[in-house]
A and B are shown apart, each in its own frame.
Chain A
Amino acid sequence: MIQLEGLTKSFDARRVLDGVTLEVPDGQNTVIIGYSGSGKSVTLKCIVGLLEPDGGRAIVDGAVVSELDRDQLTELRGQIGYVFQFAALFDSMTVAQNIALGLVRRGYDGETIAERIAESLAVVELSGTEGKYPAELSGGMRKRVGIARAVALKPRYILYDEPTSGLDPVTSAVMDQLMVRTRDLGVTGLLVTHDMRSAFCVGDRIAMLYEGRIRQVGTKSEIQATTDPVVRQFIEGRP
């Protein structure tokens, strides 16, 4: 389980996270929604140790992330796949090499790596693109390769940073299906987005991050029926 306890984080004078507390149950997709710049991506990066919180704790499977040494953090990251907002594929590597990179680091043999590449590309419906470079792919395809790279590691958790950002409605729907399919494979998902259609399609639980804290958390139905004016305004998209 992923647990966030009172996370705080500031950048210069700006307090972005001001006591974020949230539990991410296993086997479900939890969605964090919020305005642009509300700290959603910062929350994800605190979980995987890319950012160190100023206060509070991010706990993954009982381990406090900020207290782990380099080797322990490496071990933990093996259990967490991360899908970046713009995929963050390595430009100088092919699709296959991008997916293989994490597997090579973990010492898998060539045959296993080849199998995992094929499997993960099949999950994201991009079989046959192994030899292509990121520059030859569309934005949506790059994001799917990003998911494939995360899925190939067979992690327990996948963190998605704005996975449908910049995508057309059809491709966004394809991404949503992928995230649901990944959950159905037993992977716990934590997704940050301001795309409400995607949030309601993918999320089993939805939490709204507002002014550095979790404003409300609940099931999809609970959030859709909310009477909280801030949450209501956001999910309805009213200025």
Chain B
Amino acid sequence: MRRLGVDSVPIAVFIAIFTGIVLALLSSYIFTGAVPLYFVGALVGKTVMMELGPVLTGMALAGRVGASIAAELGTMKVTEQVDALETLAYDPNAYLVVPRVLASALMFPVVTAFAMAIGVTSGWITAVNLLDLSTPEFFKGLKLFYQFKDIWFGLVKSASFGAAVALMGCLRGLDAKSGAQGVGQSTTRAVVLGCEAILVLDAFWALVLL
């Protein structure tokens, strides 16, 4: 959990900072002259919590976590460590896959929660310093359409992203063909499949929960 979650916080925070900045600037560009500028807070809040926070964080972690899992398990596969586990009476799926999927499902929402908080904060700081918006106005906009559902929707999605990314990493890793090339191909495939799974799940949850 430390490796899959805690160690991923820096990259998630980095992405969230710039997501918040861009969202604030973009929404200002869109809204100026059309609607009151405090709508910047609404857009930054909704978008970070419900969509960009979970999805961008998920994509970044698909590259980091998914690749790491696939490379680790792929190396174990080609060096017969998985076979060794079987001969020692361990079920590779129970011993290798389940803990990683559970850890990712638990830690992705934690990392996403950090990203949400940082993204909104970054948007606020940008709005106050670069746009003609005061803090009370930003938070007025943030609270305008806010529902608690915005947060749990994002976190539920994020948990499913974590499980999917880890599962893709495990499946591709355990399917690695022999040699460095085989492990490399599995790792690449795991990242691609993880990203695809995130997009599919994103649409699924939007259909089901919204």
Contacts and interface: CB of A to CB of B under 8 A. Distances in A.
Interface residues of A, number: 23
Contacts of B81: 88-91
B72 to A, nearest CB: 9
Contact of A84 (B76, B83, B89): B83
A82 B79 contact: no
B147 interface: no
B88 A101 contact: yes
B86 A88 contact: no
A45 B86 CA distance: 11
Interface in A203-224: none
Please tell me the size bucket of the interface on B: 10 to 19
Interface string A101-114: 11001100000000
A92 B89 CA distance: 19
A77 B88 contact: yes
Given A48-B87, A77-B87, A82-B83, 14 more contacts: A45-B83, A50-B83, A78-B89, A82-B87, A84-B80, A85-B80, A88-B80, A88-B81, A90-B84, A102-B88, A102-B89, A105-B88, A105-B90, A149-B88
Interface of B: 76, 79-81, 83-84, 86-91
Which 5 pairs between the two chains have the least Cβ-Cβ distance? A102-B88, A88-B84, A88-B80, A82-B87, A74-B89
12 contacts: A49-B86, A50-B83, A77-B86, A77-B87, A77-B89, A84-B80, A86-B79, A88-B84, A89-B84, A90-B81, A102-B89, A149-B88
